[in-house]
Amino acid sequence: MREVVLGVLRGADYAVFGYFVALNSSYLIMIVLASVEFAKHLRRAAFAGADDMFRSPVTLPVTVIVPAYNEGAGIVAAVQAMTALRYPRFEIVVVDDGSSDDTFEKLREHFDLVEVPRVVPAEVPYQSHVLSVHVPRGEKGALTVVRKTNGGKADALNVGINLARHPLVCMVDADSVLDPDALLSVAKPFGDDPLRVAACGGVVRIANGCKVVAGRVVDVRMPRSWLVRVQVVEYLRAFLMSRTGWSRLGGVVVISGAFGVFRRDLLVQIGGMAHDTIGEDAELVVRLHHYLRDRGDDYRVIFVAEPVSWSEAPSTWKVLGSQRRRWHRGIAEILTKHRHMVFNPRYGRIGLVALPYYLIFELLAPFVELAALILLPLGLWADAIDLAFAWRFALVAYGYGLLVSLVALFIEEVSFHRYPRWSDMMRGVVAAVIENFGYRQVLAAWQVWGAVAAWHGRPAVWGTMHRTGFDTHEPTEVETVGIKGG
Amino acid sequence: MFAVFGVAILVLLGVLVGTAAGIIVVRVGRRVRGKRRAALAAGPRRALLAFVAENGEEGSEDLIAIPDDAWRAALPAALGLLGKLRGDAHSALVSVFLHRGAARAALADLHARSAVRRARAAQLLGDLELREAVPQICELLTDRDHEVRVVAVRALGRIGDAKAAWRMIASLDLRDPVPSLLATQALVQMGRGAEVTLSAALDHPQARVRAVCLDALGLLGATGAVSRMARVLADDDILDVRVAAATNLGRLGARGALQPLIDSLDPPHPDALRAAAARALGDLGAPAAVPPLAAHLDDGEFQIAHEAAHSLRRLGPPGIAALKERDNDHCREALALLQPDLVGAQ
């Protein structure tokens, strides 16, 4: 009997060992693919035609939708910065999702808003009640502010989609800071390949520690907190590199809700954002793939690596935990909802590569990570494995992981080199090391919690976000809205 | 098996150290190169700025005399200026580029094996507005690389030679065509000289070609093509093409567009076309469109009633009077935008 138990234990340890080899190798492959894409992007920047696009009368106009819930602290600066984006024709629709703070009052005061009777079509369903629509007095109609009862982010976005007057819709978080050419970059693929491009995501980087002047990131710095520094490295590896790699493979299934552009007609056809998931941004993209594959369309969902949207990352463990539980819950919900697409050849690379990858290497990764923390000591204690195996395991799981992070930093340095200070780069390297000691393990616990919550159908809660803002260090507590269902 | 892993781990450690060292080397290398390039480019940049300040009347000899390595360092700035300058200053800078042999080199590069070099060459020739290069750039419209085709379209637009219009239109009828919006823009940049070709292409069997030509004709203000466009609006098999015809007939503002657009307002025409016709009638600006538009203020389709109301608002007093006679959400929304506070917020 003991031999059987030892055999099982040994087998489990070897399986986890193999899993980490595969996981880190998959990251490395994505980084290599991303580096090929970056090289292509940089070599072609000289003839990308951004200026031509800016001057062209036929450039597709964009509606920028900004859902806002209790964003009084920064909403005026955010909208001001968005109005200054470099793009020939665009409008901004701010959807105040029943804020209990002074979000709307600040907007009204600053932009001299007046109420207009506006018919809100119901091309995509929304569950709340639109209270009023406002525009700036006597100015060109570049800004619309909608007040509605609280219904959650997805609902606010759906109201924005209904009010959007332009063929492209860009979804941006109210606390995001966009690079001046960000809109040109994410909308450009629609002009270059209008028949096929269905959606385009932009990269999101961490703004904590950066110097922001007049709604622009003017000096990129590493954050002061090690917790956020680790997230900077994580964003580089997991978002910038991984999504660019997936874009190269034609398998983008996540476009961040903080910065992405979609064809409005397609959003209407698929019914807009789903109300029944907390990961509404990724779910939208998966549903878009589902719809377009079912229709047999030749289409592309792509990701551009530069310029970027800057967002504030959680600076406390509590908020980080809430965010990661939510993210993982979102992955679990999406994979459950669209489980018939996974391993289904009907959905091409999405069904056979991208979604299985998300199932095996995203959803299950924290389970395996936690399992390793139990199985490895247990195996050592029971003599199922020896010390040689244990240190090899540690090197594969953590050493290889560190290598992946360092390669990501290297690629960042070669391609975009956004962190000009030596000290910042050194902090990035150190953050890549310390990520493996505690951060990963705690994160895994939260992620497991999030996934289990999704499968148990517990109500989803967005938690509390402490915003420090970009120019001030005084914390502003922002309660974010809970989403019904789940 | 684990012996292999022992070696793998040594390799891993080596790569770790190598990567860290690589970051340092890349950073130091970039700084050294940047400083060297900045030093080399400083003189030429000053000369370029002086040249532009003099509107290109003086200083061209200085620019031509700049050594090759310094010119290469200043090339991004020179190319940037080339894309921004107009008139005499542009011509003078083009002349500098030509004297330096840039056009000759670019023409040769149009046949390079590297897609990046072909695209860069086409871009430069477009910025130089070199008409002699049009036939060769036209060949790139069927290039195997999508981005080269895109750059070729933009370059031809920049040069603006209407002789390229037909080749551009033909390139829309390929299995992997050039982008419609870019082609439209380029055809518009070719000006009135392209009108005849565009008008003739309205009979092209490929729907994408017809739609692009309609947009280009509308943006060019080609009032001579109204009757042909009206025929497309009435008879085309493809809805998107008919919608484009309606939109551009409105844009033209010609009297001959009125009746075809009114005829498109009612069922059994598809809703998308009816909405486009309602919007186009507002753009057209003809008071005679008021009664048919007013008849659609209570249309069951949101978009048609909405467009009709806003078109009536744009048509001025007769349209506003029609809006005041009705009492529905669309009319109230349109009328509200006439308040002094909201003029412009449309």
Could you report the per-residue pLDDT of A78-134, keeping only the tens digit for each?
898 888 899 999 999 999 999 998 899 999 999 999 888 888 888 899 999 999 999
Give the pLDDT of residue A479: 40
User: What is each CA distance from A474 to A227, A315, A323, in whole angstroms?
Assistant: 18, 13, 21
Rounded to whole angstroms, what are the CA distances from B163 to B132, B202, B211, B305? 11, 18, 20, 43
Q: Do B120 and A46 touch (CB under 8 A)?
A: yes
Residue B169 has, within 13 A of its CA and on its CB side, a CA count of 31
pLDDT 10s digits, B248-273:
999 998 888 999 999 999 888 999 89
Asked whether the predicted pLDDT for residue A50 surpasses 90, the reply is no
**Partner-chain contact B181 A139, CB within 8 Å:** no
How many C-alpha atoms does A387 have within 13 Å on its Cβ side?
Answer: 0
Q: What six digits make up the tokens of A154? A: 């997805």
Say if residues B121 and B137 touch (Cβ distance below 8 Å): no
- Residue pair A228/A209 in contact (Cβ under 8 Å)? The answer is yes
CB contact under 8 A, B333 and A60: no
Nearest to A235 by CA among A396, A227, B92: A227
pTM for the whole thing?
Answer: 0.85
% pLDDT > 90, chain A: 47
pLDDT band at A339 (very low <50, low <70, confident <90, very high): very high
**Confidence band for A478, pLDDT divided at 50, 70 and 90:** very low
DSSP bridge pairs for A135: A114
Among A140, A195, A396, the residue with its CB nearest the CB of B344 is A140
**What are the residues whose beta carbons fall under 8 Å from the beta carbon of B258, sequence distance 6 or more?**
B281, B284, B286, B288, B289
Is a pLDDT exceeding 50 seen at residue A481?
no
Is A194–B180 a contact, with Cβ atoms under 8 angstroms apart? Answer: yes
**Inter-chain CB proximity B26 and A136 less than 8 Å:** no
Peptide linkage before A377 cis (omega within 30 of 0)? no
A396 interfacial to chain B (CB closer than 8 Å) = yes
Q: For residue B116, list chain A residues with Cβ-Cβ distance below 8 A.
A: 43-44
pLDDT for residue A3: 82
Residue A459 has pLDDT above 90, yes or no: no
**A141 pLDDT band (50/70/90 cuts)?**
low
Residues (pLDDT < 70) of chain B are: 1-5, 340-346
Q: Do A413 and B27 touch (CB under 8 A)?
A: yes
Q: Helices A280-295 & A317-337, crossing angle to 10 degrees?
A: 20
Where exactly are the structural domains of chain B? Answer: 94-220, 225-338
Average pLDDT over residues A325-346: 93
Instruction: Indicate the SS3 state at residue B282.
Output: helix
Which fold does the domain B94-220 belong to in CATH? Leucine-rich Repeat Variant (1.25.10)
For domain B225-338, which CATH number applies: 3.40.190.10, 3.30.1490.20, 1.25.10.10, 3.30.930.10? 1.25.10.10
Q: What is the CATH number of domain A21-60+167-360?
A: 3.90.550
The fraction of chain A above a pLDDT of 70, given in percent, is 93
Please list every residue in chain A whose beta carbon sits closer than 8 Å to the beta carbon of residue B14. Answer: none
Q: Is the pLDDT of residue A412 over 60?
A: yes
Residue type for A234, please?
Answer: E
Distance CA A283, CA A257 (A): 10
Of residues A56, A117, A406, nearest to B185 (C-beta): A56
Residue A257 — pLDDT band, cuts 50, 70, 90? confident
Closest residue to B12, CB basis, from A47, A403, A409: A403
Q: Could B333 and A117 be called an inter-chain contact, meaning their C-beta atoms sit closer than 8 Å?
A: yes
Q: Which letter does DSSP use for residue B110 in this model? A: T
**C-alpha span between B329 and B332 (Å, rounded):** 5
- Residue ranges per structural domain of chain A: 21-60+167-360
The pLDDT score that the predictor gives to residue A84 is 86
The answer to whether A413 faces chain B, any CB pair under 8 Å, is yes
Residue A463 pLDDT level (bands cut at 50, 70, 90): low
Rounded CA-CA distance A340/A338 in Å is 5
DSSP result, B203-254: G-S-HHHHHHHHHHHHHHT-GGGHHHHHHHHHH-S-HHHHHHHHHHHHHHT-
- Which A positions 199-258 lie with beta carbon below 8 A of chain B? none
Residues B140, B154: Cα–Cα separation, whole Å: 11
Euclidean distance between CA atoms A5 and A8, whole angstroms: 5
Smallest Cα distance from B219 to chain A, Å: 9
Q: Write b or e for each residue in A441-457: b if 16 or more Cβ atoms lie within 10 A of its Cβ, otherwise e.
A: eebbbbbbbbbebbeee
Rounded CA-CA distance B184/B181 in Å is 5
Q: Does A57 touch chain B (CB under 8 A)?
A: yes
Q: Is the pLDDT of residue A30 over 70?
A: yes
